[in-house]
Chains A and B, each alone.
Chain A
Amino acid sequence: MATLPAGVSAADFNAAIAKFKAAVGEKNVFTSDEDVALYRDAYSPMWGTPQELLASAAVAPDTVEQVQAIVRAANEHKIPLYPISTGKNVGYGGSAPNLHGSVVLDLKRMNRILEVDDRRGFALVEPGVAYFDLYRHIQEKKLKVWIDCPDPGWGSLIGNSLDHGVGYTFGAFRDHFGSHCGMEVVLPNGEIMRTGMGALPGAKSWQDYKYGFGPYVDGLFGQGNFGIVTKMGFWLMPEPEAYQSGYVSVPKRHDLIALVDHVNYLEHIGLIGQPNYSSPLGRAQRNEPDLRALVGKAGGPSDDELDRFGAAKGIPSWEVELQFYGPARTVAANWEYARERIGASIPGTTFRDGHSYRFPMTEEQKAAVEHKVAVGIPAMSIFSIGARSELNPSPTDGHLWFAPIIPKTGEAVLESQRAFAKVYQEFGLNVGGIFQTPATWIYRAFVMIVGLPVSRSNKEINAKSMAAFKRVVEVAAANGWAEYRSPPAFADLVADSYSYNDHALRRFNEQLKDAVDPNGIIAAGRGGIWPKHLRGGRKA
């Protein structure tokens, strides 16, 4: 027998399950241990322990009317629901709930691409639509638009954007929540609401103008628990004529400060898409034992010591790949401008051309692209990083993403590297460090993301990662940084960091929760927001 949600009687649970079956058909309600186990978080740090967050059952509707019927039955019997889209948010919770015993509302079967308009540049989709699906639809119809994808293409456009997921082309499109336009939501009382222009009956611009009239409420449904999003519009980028990338390398550690300022200028004025930072000196550790010794010495190396080593070996401290999209002539001119601008400012800067593509591409050309998501092609190749390989013969069973936001400056990168590295060293974790470069998906901020290892067989690894996660969240908060996204086990801890004025934001969210979802049936605990009757169990 499945785990019951806390405070729910077997009679109520069984009555709700019967109503779910009546709504969606028996085969779309999953109650056997074998089937419900498939909703576990494959990357849970609490795998196999009494603390693991497990579903009690799952129900998979195919239509919005079925979602309404499920919500009404859940209200009647006080059953907590946990909506998922494609359930592939691995590293941030996967398909498992925040509240143990919730019934997962699996929206994967709602997978219709309702509209794609390549003149106005938008798509309207259901939650079960994956990036792969929308990409194939666009290719088959030969539409002249790109999608902006996160690393793994199996994710849901809606699910990813609702967790504030991110991508790889221009800033306006990389912010997947920011590039959405219009939602349809089943509210906790079972009513259907449409946001923005969608609130206008017969609206002709639901996917063109976000705000409609009055307060903009869409934000409540991102990392929130105020309703179930059943449709969502997304803006799409026009297919450009050309792509060119170029690499810029600077010699010294503190050159990062000027480099970031220049790259920010290029990006914010619209000349480049996502910049990719890396550290050639950091990569050189593999073949340079003297460098490894320097990095590993007590107290760590000073910036001057690292600069001297780099200068002696001719290895730059930092490199950034700039990515230009647009007409072939302007792409070339923008790369030339970037070289002139940065070369005149930072002594010792070197440049080299990167990749060059023209669009549309043939299938063979697409297959040869090394970083497919940079040109809007969904892929799964990111798993190369964690999968078993010659260099990684004993891979972990997943990871917890620790993803703190820091300012988009070189100073913040250098400061956060050392602050976080100290914690990782204390816990003996081989992540982060003084060569870590920021993830740049978010348009106006950096993310110093690391994956802390998890194991399904070694509980000590999980305990260490959980302890390190807790500590690094505290260190981040003490420095004015905090996570933009979190695995469920740490949602309360992260939410607790956002404590300005005695948690005024959380208290406001809780007031809304009580008003909108008095029975607390939707995604209890998501975003650190708990319904009234469960607030005593908060984990932070």
Chain B
Amino acid sequence: MKMRVLVMFALMGIATSGFAAAPGRAQQVAEGEKLYKYWCATCHGPGIGQNGAPYLPGETALRAKYKGAVPGLLHERTDLTPEFVKLFVRQGITIMPFFRKTEIDDQQLDAIAAYLTRNSKTK
């Protein structure tokens, strides 16, 4: 239940951080793209899945969850908020475990969130 409440707040964009106006955002987005490709795109990027399945597991999962309402690829989404991204990285979801700070520290997570929300209409 706690998780659901947090997801709801994140979706609503409550408690948004102010980094949209932070200096060096382009650099942060570029850094975030690199980190996203390293840590996330191996499941959430484009590509075929196990034994030739049409999509990688992350895209498969999000296509099944949202049934076309939003793109299955995270980097194509325009509805994400930084809080939403951070919530899933730090709490995981179904079989996706969470990531420790020795893997993705808070500054790097800010950069990943900046990359994934670079086109967001919800800020």
Whether chains A and B associate is: yes
> How close is B72's CB to chain A, nearest CB, in angstroms?
11
Contacts of A290 in B (CB 8 A): none
Contacts of B108 in A (CB 8 A): none
A380, B57: Cβ atoms closer than 8 Å: yes
> How close is A488's CB to chain B, nearest CB, in angstroms?
15
A384, B99: Cβ atoms closer than 8 Å: no
Contacts of B103 in A (CB 8 A): 86-87, 108
Contacts of A132 in B (CB 8 A): 38, 42
Alpha-carbon distance between A385 and B50 when the two chains are bound, in angstroms: 8
**Size of chain A's interface in residues, with CB distance under 8 A?**
44
**B7 interfacial contact with A, CB 8 Å:** no
Q: State which residues 378-400 of A face B: CB under 8 Å.
A: 379-390, 392-393, 395-399
Scoring B50, B92, B98 by chain A CB atoms within 10 A of each residue's CB, the highest score goes to: B50
Given A43-B97, A397-B94, A398-B95, A383:B102 Cβ within 8 A: no
Q: Of all chain A residues, which has the CB nearest B4?
A: A457
**A115 interfacial contact with B, CB 8 Å:** no
Alpha-carbon distance between A392 and B56 when the two chains are bound, in angstroms: 15
**A90 interfacial contact with B, CB 8 Å:** yes
Contacts of B42 in A (CB 8 A): 132, 153-154, 379-380
**Partner-contacting stretch, out of B8-16, B24-32, B59-67, B113-121:** B59-67
Candidates B52, B56, B95; contact of A397 at CB < 8 Å: B95
Given A38-B90, A106-B102, A390-B64, A384:B97 Cβ within 8 A: no
Given A132-B42, A380-B43, A395:B50 Cβ within 8 A: no
Contacts of B56 in A (CB 8 A): 380-381, 384
Alpha-carbon distance between A194 and B62 when the two chains are bound, in angstroms: 47
Q: Of all chain B residues, which has the CB nearest A43?
A: B97
B95, A384: Cβ atoms closer than 8 Å: no
Per-residue interface assignment for chain A, residues 344 to 388, with 1 indicating a CB less than 8 Å from any chain B CB and 0 otherwise: 000000000000000000000001101100000001111111111
**B53 interfacial contact with A, CB 8 Å:** yes
Contacts of A385 in B (CB 8 A): 50
Alpha-carbon distance between A386 and B98 when the two chains are bound, in angstroms: 16
Candidates A30, A42, A367, A383; contact of B47 at CB < 8 Å: A367
Per-residue interface assignment for chain A, residues 77 to 95, with 1 indicating a CB less than 8 Å from any chain B CB and 0 otherwise: 0000000001110100011
Per-residue interface assignment for chain B, residues 43 to 59, with 1 indicating a CB less than 8 Å from any chain A CB and 0 otherwise: 10001111111001110
Contacts of A379 in B (CB 8 A): 42
> How close is B22's CB to chain A, nearest CB, in angstroms?
21
A42, B97: Cβ atoms closer than 8 Å: yes
Q: Provide a sorted-by-A list of 7 A–B residue pairs whose CB atoms are within 8 angstroms.
A: A28-B102, A106-B102, A383-B58, A387-B95, A388-B94, A389-B64, A396-B94
Known: A368-B48, A380-B56. 19 other contacts (CB 8 A): A35-B101, A38-B90, A42-B97, A86-B103, A154-B42, A370-B48, A370-B52, A379-B42, A381-B49, A383-B50, A383-B95, A384-B51, A384-B60, A386-B95, A387-B95, A388-B64, A389-B60, A395-B94, A398-B97
Interface residues of B (CB under 8 A from A): 38, 42-43, 47-53, 56-58, 60-61, 64-65, 90, 92, 94-103
